[in-house]
Structure 1
Amino acid sequence: MHTSPATRRIGRAAAAALAALLAATACSSQGGSADVAKTVVPTVDAEDNNPQPLENIKDGGELREPLQQWITQWNPYQVDGNYGDAVEIMGYVEAKIFRVDAKGAYHPVPEYLVSAEVTSTSPQVVTYKLNPKAVWSDGTPLSYRDFEAVWKASNGKDPAYNLADPAGYEQISGVEQGADAGEVKVTFSEPYADWQSLFRPLLPASGLSTPQAFNEGWIEKVPTFGGPFVVSTIDKTAQTITLTPNPRWWGPKPKLDRITFRVLDAAAITQSYLNNEIDFASAGTASSYGQLKDAKDSVIRTGTPWDEVHISFGSNGALADQKVRQALGRALDRASLIKIANKGVPIEFKPLDNHLFMTNQNGYKANSGDWATYDPATAKKWLDEAGWKDSGGTLSKDGQPLELHYVMSDGSNQTQVDLASAVQNMLQQVGVKLTIDKVPSKEYFTKYIDQGKFDLASWRNTDSFPLSKTVALFRAPQGDNVFGNYSKLSTPEIDSLLRKAAGTLDPAQAAALYNQADTKIWELGHTVELYQRPSIVAIRKGLANYGASSLADVVITSVGWQK
């Protein structure tokens, strides 16, 4: 199950950030099992989105998009709302105060910020000067109170706020009005390098001021808007959501007069695109690429976003033992698993040997070492050392067999099934019985992954950029809040390294700390990374300023149909 259609930039949230931020793995081979030559090279640090000046774009028109699941929680700071589709839409209807370009650099959005800069380093103080025209849909001007409300709800000090990720906000010591009502001063108790990633989007204080408003006030509705579009209709029966231009919007008028989202099962998206019912579809699977590459009135666009596919280990039962998890890492043949996913797709999927950096990011190092080297003999040895003894081809301990469960969505495509079956066979070779449990697709994340109810599972983390957004994926849980660390596996050393890296202003020093943390994550037996997933999408011909990006945000006011 994907959290967003394909791999476009969706608000830069971490896994959901980043809890954002989750999607199912692998690629389908149905209808396209024959391999194809790896002849397509995806764009790197560029935007494959048919860039056009505004004068070349028609006024009006509709963009039709698929939704992978119905959006219940709209607050992206709340743990249930920080996932792909919701974050993408909230970036269109709320105050996204910074925009990221194709090289990953942040820029203040002039509709919201006249300027934003570090005005002191000891302590670190960031001063924001607001655009005086910026107002919420109820007419209230944007102010320091909105920044303050986001901070207080997201800093982790009040457990009643069921937040997605306190990273960055927990480093803030105060938010206050500056020289006048249009100036905001944010003071940090310790340095935070990725301060530009905070308050994105900025939400109104009225919707965050109490735990009840934060947790429940955004369920099935968006109470206040601050972006170029508003959510004009939410039709749960028809499973459609419609955005229209914000009548109070003070910036450049959007080119589109409507964006319509419709919930579609992953398997139905390709056919809906071929039926001209939607304008965007993933072509990243053998099946979808085979059907979409020659579709009428369509083009294929490619890119290299922050998007990874992995297999995560749980932390219950036998997997509470690090030695067992390490053994499973040696039992998996990553090259074969990647080959399964890559079959029938024109881009080569290369192994990913880092949990935090993508292969096209500055600072990337291959840190997997021997932890992800296929070595069944060593896997058997380590399992034996962990007390799991061979009893007729299967392993047991204290009279109990070593039986694990691979949890996957019942909406999984054939290659996801093939990948799970391959894992099952690999573990069988070292004496581990693995049962594949298919669960309802609508419950896959909410009742299983989010709750840590799995032994093995595979999904995607997308848009964990900047790197501080990855902290939530591996930090220690606090009570019932696991942030984005659904395996619930961490160590004080990993926590310390990640936090230190996030507070290091020098990029080279920060990269060194992140890589130290990554080496420890491999050793922990938390996750076996498979590959960085390229963006391969089918786009309706004539759609401008929209497509397969690398690190860049969509400028939704510039999206439209070419004249």
Structure 2
Amino acid sequence: MNKPLATGIAVVAAFALALTGCARADDAPTGSAPGETGEIGHIDATANMMNTVDYDGVGEGGTLRLYNNSFPANFNTSHSDGNETNTVAIMESVYPTLFAYTADGEVIPNDLYAQRIEKTSDEPLTFEIELVHGLEWSDGTPIDFKSIKNNFDAMVNEEFQVPSREGYNRVESVEQGGNEYTAVVTFKAGEVYADWIGLAAVMPDALVESADAFNTSWVNGPTVTGGPFKIGTIDAANKVVTLVRDDNFKGERKAKLDQISWQTIEDPSAAATAFNDGQLDVIDASNQAIYSVVVDKSGEGTDFELRSAAGPNWTHLTLNGKPGNILEDQNLRQAFTLAIDRKSIFQALNGTMPYPTGMADDLLGNHMLVQNQNGYVNNAGNYGAKDVGAAKELIEASGWTLNGEYYEKDGKTLEIRYVYNAGSTTNGTVAPIVTENLKDVGIKLVIEQVPPTDLFSKYVIPGDYDMTLFGWAGNPFVTSSVSIWRTEGEQNFSGVGTPEVDALLDELQSTTDVDKQTELLNKIDELLWPVAGNLPLFQAYDFIVAHNDLANYGAPGFQSVDWTTVGYVNGSPKLG
């Protein structure tokens, strides 16, 4: 399962975006040393490195200096433009989330905001949400039943530009329960939704008062918050968001940190320099350009350590098959996948990274499950390996004729436009490889770099591209990727699908048996490879370099972050 959020998939602008479904982490096999079983020795899916410390063991005070690689286009994470990991990471400490994920992938009520989220009937499917009593939004309005109702109404409002309506469109009613903090959610007769708990959320009145309010009022920052932190300042010119502890937060636990600073640094080399110059307390070293520079700054005798996890995140190439685009032709999309040398891309991006031995020869072969998850099967078949001859046959079957280096038809050269975020070293590394791979099969690649903040809002989501590279970040919900693969799904940026896939996705959403879910995930994946709207490249590990004294933060795997417990251990000089 992958990370736009609990209601779908989230996007990771690569130096890659979005979420995809997968089996629960607690059903995953443990890792094995290379050679023990003939399989890659992946990190156990349930393992993470967060420097877990009890709440009382974390000191009060200090600043945590973090960074991201793209400034938010919209701070409303329930809007399609705000449903990406950089924005979510900022907002999760200032905005209520009603459920949390454990390290083994269990979804539980977040005790800061929800007393219970429990199913009360199977027919019709009914569940109740009871919020912690007495919480308030920053504008003084209560976080209560109406806040829950706001969310359910917003997610089915056609004028609200949400990333996914999956699940919400199956709900018949949302009524107040036994008190003003309880909602009773009843599904339509005969409807089942496997991840019903993932629909539980709240929204303030101000955000849903109109379509314009929902779609645009948070473009420059949230006007209402409700978490242990609040907005201190948003410096859009310098791309810095500063969060400060909200002493008016009425939750059971107050934040330990005084403030959190998020600075956007689009160039990985600049991020590495900022870290080495002492301007950051944590750096995501999952990018080779960063890892190679900062790895020597961590370990024994230093103030920093490397924290690793293998969560449900993966990097891929997405192809735009929407009507009117060159890759509307399925033959050409299939030819593209057969042209790409995935191993060369993996080695170029990760050659010096501490991935498991042999991973370059056994890359991700599934859109729905990552390699260290139970039930994973490599379904790539012929689509997972470069085959120049087969690619050319497909191109010629669509009426293209080779003229010199490239194919032509009706006087036009067969050309694909690769759009990516300017300054991305990942894309900068991949682009030359893809250029040569496509040239080998007679396709010309044109590179277009765009401002990072605009990549999704102005190019990927509207469909103004032919191909791009980004990552999907996962979560424990088995249905979280449905809107990516459904033909008319809000997150289906490739715009392609089949009735057969859609029918299996419907069945998946209505299935609660874990073994049946795994079977369906693999059936869906088998059909997605010939559709060729997306080419998986590799499972993306987390390699995070963090200050030794930083507690409850780092490489989380499946686990969600409790921002009230993040901080520096008692006695740390970082407490100030």
Q: What's the TM-score, normalizing by structure 2?
A: 0.88
Alignment partner, residue 53 of structure 1: 54
Aligned-residue offset at 1:13 = 5.0
| Contact residue 14 and residue 462 of structure 1 kept, 8 A | no
CA RMSD of superposed structures (Å):
2.3
Give the superposition deviation at 1:488. Answer: 1.4
Once the two structures are superposed, residues 91-128 of structure 1 have per-residue CA deviations (whole angstroms, 9 ceiling, x without a partner) of: 21121111100111011122322222110011100012
Q: Distance in 1 between matches of 2:350 and 2:15?
A: 15
Post-superposition offset of 1:463:
2.5
The answer to whether 1:325 aligns with 2:333 is yes
CA 1:343–1:174: 2 relative to 1, 3 Å: same
Are the aligned partners of 1:12 and 1:465 in contact in 2 as well (CA < 8 Å)? no
Mapped partners of 1:215, 1:364: distance in 2: 38
Provide closer, same or farther for how the CA distance between residues 215 and 410 of structure 1 changes in structure 2, counting only shifts above 3 A: closer
Q: 2:481 aligns with which of 465, 470, 473?
A: 470
Taking a change above 3 Å as real, the CA distance of residues 73 and 436 of structure 1, as seen in their structure-2 partners, is closer
Query: The residue matched to 2:96 in structure 1 has which SS?
Result: coil
Question: The residue matched to 2:261 in structure 1 has which SS?
Answer: strand
Structure 1 residue 550 and structure 2 residue 543: aligned?
no
The one-letter amino acid of 1:529's match is P
Alignment of 1:407-486 (within 5 A): 407-413=419-425, 416-477=427-488, 483-486=490-493
Q: Tell me how far 1:230 sits from its aligned partner.
A: 1.2
Aligned length: 534
Change over 3 Å in CA distance of 1:76–1:488 after alignment to 2: same
Shift of 1:389: 2.1
Pairwise CA distance, 1:299: 1.0
Query: Which string of whole-angstrom CA distances, capped at 9 and with x for unpartnered residues, describes residues 292-345 of structure 1?
Result: 112142111110122111111122443111111112211212222222222111
Alignment partner, residue 21 of structure 2: none
- Distance in 1 (CA, whole Å) between partners of 2:449 and 2:139 is 46
Q: Is the 8 A contact 1:311 1:457 kept in 2?
A: yes
- The residue type equivalent to 1:525 in the other structure is A
Alignment of 1:231-242 (within 5 A): 231-242=231-242
What is the deviation of 1:465? Answer: 4.1
* Aligned-partner Cα distance in 2 for 1:394–1:359: 36
Aligned to 1:287: 289
Contact 2:383 2:529 in 1 (8 A): yes
The letter for the 2-side match of 1:241 is V
Match of 2:573 in 1: none
Residue 493 (1) aligns with residue 500 (2): yes
Q: Percent identity?
A: 29
Residue 283 of structure 2 aligns with an amino acid whose one-letter code is A
- The answer to whether the Cα contact below 8 Å between 1:40 and 1:346 also exists between their aligned partners in 2 is no
CA 1:460 to 1:323, structure 2 compared with 1: closer, same or farther past 3 Å? same
Asked if structure 1 preserves the Cα contact closer than 8 Å seen for 2:7 and 2:198, the reply is: no
Match of 1:522 in 2: 529
In 2, distance between residues paired with 1:258 and 1:59?
11
Shift of residue 40, structure 1, vs aligned partner: 10
Match in the other structure for 2:397: 385
Q: CA deviation at 1:366?
A: 1.6
Whether contact under 8 Å (2:160, 2:214) holds in the other structure is: yes
1:46/1:102 contact within 8 Å kept: yes
Matched residue of 1:231: which SS? strand
Q: CA deviation at 1:141?
A: 2.8
Asked if structure 2 preserves the Cα contact closer than 8 Å seen for 1:22 and 1:462, the reply is: no
Contact 2:73 2:453 in 1 (8 A): no
Which of 372, 396, 411 is the equivalent residue of 2:384? 372
Whole-angstrom CA distance in 1 between matches of 2:124 and 2:13: 35
Q: Distance in 1 between matches of 2:452 and 2:517?
A: 38
Match of 1:171 in 2: 170
* Separation in 1, partners of 2:197, 2:267: 34
1:352/1:532 contact within 8 Å kept: yes
Report the counterpart of residue 29 of structure 1 in structure 2.
none
**Unaligned segments of structure 2, at least 5 residues:** 18-33, 35-39, 571-576
> SS state of the match for residue 99, structure 1?
strand
| 1:204 match | 204
Query: For 1:153 and 1:539, how far apart are their aligned partners in 2?
Result: 38
**How far off is 1:195 after superposition?**
1.5
CA distance in 2, matches of 1:212, 1:203: 15
Q: Which amino acid aligns with 2:14?
A: A
- Give the residue type in structure 2 aligned to 1:236: A
Deviations 1:276-304 (A, max 9, x none): 11111121233322221121421111101
Give the C-alpha shift of residue 392 in structure 1.
Answer: 3.3
Q: Which moved more, 1:65-74 or 1:298-307?
A: 65-74
Pairing partner for 1:346 from 330, 341, 354: 354
- Alpha-carbon distance in 2 for matches of 1:451, 1:72: 14
The residue aligned with 1:304 is: 310
The answer to whether the 8 A contact 2:6-2:475 is kept is yes
Summarize the Cα distance change of 1:164–1:376 in structure 2 as closer, same or farther, 3 Å threshold: same
Match of 1:334 in 2: 342
Could you say what secondary structure the match of 1:428 adopts? Answer: helix
CA distance in 1, matches of 2:45, 2:248: 37
Which whole-Å CA distance do the structure 2 matches of 1:446 and 1:112 have between them? 31
The answer as to whether partners of 2:106 and 2:476 remain within 8 angstroms in 1 is no
Paired residue secondary structure (1:118): strand
1:75 counterpart = 2:81: no
What's the counterpart of residue 249 of structure 2? Answer: 249
1:549 aligned counterpart, secondary structure: coil
Preserved CA contact (<8 Å) 2:338 2:383: yes
**Residue of structure 2 equivalent to 1:314:** 320
Do 1:243 and 1:259's aligned partners in 2 also have CA atoms closer than 8 Å? yes
| AA matched with 2:429 | D
Please tell me the residue identity of whatever aligns with 1:406: Y
TM-score (normalised: structure 1): 0.89
Q: Secondary structure at the match of 2:404?
A: coil
CA distance in 1, matches of 2:401, 2:3: 47
**Tell me, what secondary structure is at the counterpart of 2:384?**
coil
- Contact 2:15–2:287 (CA<8 Å) still a contact in 1? no
Residue 5 (structure 1) aligns with: none
Paired position in structure 2 for 1:560: 567
C-alpha separation in 2, matches of 1:519 and 1:508: 17
Whether the 8 Å CA contact 1:42–1:534 is kept in 2: the answer is no
CA shift in 2, pair 1:219/1:286, >3 Å: closer
Which runs of 5 or more structure 1 residues have no equivalent in the other structure?
Answer: 1-8, 27-37
Cα distance in 1 between the residues matched to 2:7 and 2:273: 30
| C-alpha distance in structure 2 between counterparts of 1:314 and 1:331, whole Å | 17
Counterpart position of 1:128: 129
| Conserved 8 A contact 2:12-2:84 | yes
Counterpart of 1:370 in 2: which secondary structure? helix
DSSP-derived class of the 2:234 partner: strand
SS in 1 for 2:487: coil
In 2, Cα distance between equivalents of 1:135 and 1:393 = 64
Distance 1:390 1:217 in 2: 51
Shift of residue 526 of structure 1?
0.7
